[in-house]
Chains A and B, each alone.
Chain A
Amino acid sequence: MTAPLLEIDRLDIGFGPLSAVRGASLQVRRGETHCLVGESGCGKSVTALAVMGLLARNATRNAVSMRFDGQELMGLDEKAMSRLRGDRMAMIFQEPMTSLNPAYTVGSQMAEVMLRHRGGTRRAALDRAAELLAKVRITSPGMRLGQYPHQLSGGLRQRVMIAMALMCSPELLIADEPTTALDVTVQAQILRLLADLQKDLGLAILLITHDLGVVARTAHHVSVMYAGQVVETAPVADLFANPMHPYTRGLLSCVPVPGKVRPGDPLGSIPGMVPRVEHAFAGCAFRQRCDLARPDCAGTIPRRDFAPGHDYLCQIEPAALVTA
């Protein structure tokens, strides 16, 4: 098996005294979709931003290693990161309405990615932009190039963001809840589009989403995040068939039949809230909300293997959990 395209090994992100991500590891393979799920505030967005080198100035980032196509990203300076961003790794965001610059045309904003990383003429860059607008199924691409963001709907803007992300044929696309701000019907279209593009172009996608239907239909692997930790990782079928971590089980609780997920199925809701944790926090962060919590859940929690590629972070052994 070839090495993963993106390999995050024990990533830590802090904001002052607060710890937003704690030892998170995950791997995205070439040409695969890796879904990252979890409630709001679990650290999904900051994990994605950390990969791109786009964390806010008040954030601290540490990792044993973070490799992209074998290249170590930790310690890479801003200049070297900016050469990767938009060229070999691209990102789209949750806020299509505000993510495009209101003062410039679609064409100009798309073309500058190409001009920055590949050079060439403006004409060639605009031709490429038109080609990609067509690829994300926007009608009359030539006309759209001259339009400003305020002339486009939210769904169209997100399509433009996707097309813009693809300008330099990146190997990795990070999509942070790309449909949360859109209408339900538009959501489905955008997600289908992403899935098709992924097959067409052999893209690797790190997709942050709340939609279990999307996870079931598009993901190859899934990582579940809770309070800054990856509490379970598994191939998608395995996760739906045998969710191990009590938190994962809570998220999947609204799925009536295991493995039978419909588009638009939301994550299950679990009573209680995600705690904000400080650096010295010890034990399982889920224990206030966990039905299976035991006294030793306040101690060190081991990572346990359930099956190849399927591990979880819990005090309880697989055999005991399966029957629980």
Chain B
Amino acid sequence: MVQFLLRRLLVALLVSVTVLTFAFALTRLSGDLAISIAGPNATANDIEVVRKAYGLDQPLITQFFSWIGRAMVGDFGQSYFYRERVSTLIFSRLPITLTLGLVGLGIAVSVALPLGVISALREGRPIDRVISLVALVGQAMPSFWLALVLMITLGLNLGWLPISGTGTWQHFVMPGIVLSFSAIPALLRLTRSGMIDAMAADYIRTARAKGLSRMSIVLKHAARNAAMPVVSIAAVQLGFMLGGSIVIETVFALHGVGFLAWESISKNDFPTVQAVVLLLAVIYTLLTLGADLLNALLDPRLRAQ
């Protein structure tokens, strides 16, 4: 168990270092930062002043390590655009994005898991086909289009839900639904295939030979074994949702990290872009680590390693 944990932590660390390097390289590769920062009306002299002030005259390697050093203690510098500290900016936006992601995952899981189980138990029957078809159609729908359809029907025509802002929990329902659509097909397919495999396993025949109830066979014996890949993919999907909430936050005017990323990219606000990329990577790594731990709890064979 300890070895398993250490190995996972090491992988997480390696991923983080790689992402750090990329996040840094990304902004340096996109042209001369000093020119961008100084703005379109700057003189050559202004640019040199900016270059010195931001430390851009130092060798790249020095810049890299000083950036990492500061990033480690949560100092990502000033936002070029907001004139605020990047860390403050991000932490004020993070709760919105996290709420959105969790609502999205919650909806996705509560739709995909039951449907996946039903599909598996009725493999090849009409209900299984219908579910697969609906999932396919759902996957093919672009999220901005779905968002607009929901806003018009639920928001404008029926007036059930607010169409923008973050005031109440109701504000998160529509964006959550839209976000969940991207995760449902993968979760559903894995739940279905996992349950089909599990139900065909020898230990299910044993469970039936013991006279256990259908409920116990499906939910206790099969689901526990089908859950592992589903947990892993759910973590990945949550990562996608957090990173991919840019469109949805923009459409629904939710001022979360996704919206911030969109703004900072369009405004050449590099410290913010870097910090957002890094944050997403860290969240992603933590999620995978969390999924591994959860799987270790589910599977005694993993714990033994």
Q: Could you tell me which A residues sit within 8 Å of B by CB distance?
A: 52, 54, 78, 81-87, 90-91, 93, 95, 98-104, 112-113, 116-117, 148, 150-151, 161, 164
Contacts and interface: CB of A to CB of B under 8 A. Distances in A.
A85 B209 contact: yes
Interface residues of chain B: helix, strand, loop or mixed (majority): helix
Given A102-B301, A112-B216, A148-B300, A54 B209 contact: yes
Contacts of A99: 202-203, 205-206
B300 to A, nearest CB: 4
A85 B206 contact: no
Contacts, number: 78
A93 B210 contact: no
Contacts of A84: 211
14 contacts: A54-B205, A54-B208, A54-B209, A82-B211, A83-B211, A86-B210, A86-B211, A90-B209, A98-B203, A99-B205, A100-B203, A103-B225, A112-B210, A148-B301
A150 B300 contact: yes
Contact of A82 (B202, B213, B299, B300): B213
Interface in B284-305: 298-301, 304
A116 B211 contact: yes
Interface in B226-261: none
A154 B279 CA distance: 48
Contacts of A87: 211
B212 A103 contact: no
Interface in B192-212: 201-203, 205-212
B224 interface: yes
Q: Which 7 A-B pairs have the closest CB atoms?
A: A86-B211, A85-B211, A86-B210, A98-B202, A101-B203, A148-B300, A82-B211
Nearest to A113: B210
B221 interface: yes
Contact of A52 (B209, B213, B224, B301): B209
B298 A103 contact: yes
Contacts of A103: 221, 224-225, 298-300
A101 B212 contact: no
Contacts of B212: 82, 86, 112-113, 116
Contact of B213 (A81, A104, A116, A150): A116
Contacts of B203: 98-102
A22 B212 CA distance: 30
Contacts of A85: 208-211
A82 B201 CA distance: 19
A112 B208 CA distance: 12
Contacts of A52: 209
Nearest to B223: A103
Given A93-B205, A98-B201, A99-B202, A164 B210 contact: yes
Residue of B209, B221, B225 most packed against chain A (CB within 10 A):
B209
